Amino acid sequence: MTNILVITASIFGQDGQSSQLVKRMLDQLHQAHGDVNVVTRDLASDPVPHLDAARFSAFLTSSEERDDEQKRVIAYSDSLIQEIQNADVIVLGVPMYNFGIPSALKAYFDHIARAGVTFRYTENGPVGLLEDRPVYVLAARGGIYAGTPNDSQTPYIRSFLGFIGLKDVHFVYAEGLNMGEDKKTSSLEEAGKNIETLTA
- CB of 12 within 8 A of CB of 42? no
Helix (H, G, I), strand (E, B) or coil at 2: strand
- CB of 93 within 8 A of CB of 4? no
Among 22, 24, 25, residue whose Cα is nearest residue 7: 22
DSSP 62: -
- CB of 104 within 8 A of CB of 8? no
What are the binding residues? Answer: 10, 96-99
The three-point CA angle 88-10-83 to 5° equals 25
- Bridge partners of residue 91, in order along the sequence: 6, 136
- Bridge partners of residue 92, in order along the sequence: 7, 137
What are the binding residues for FMN? Answer: 10, 96-99
Could you tell me how far CA 66 lies from the centroid of its own chain? 29
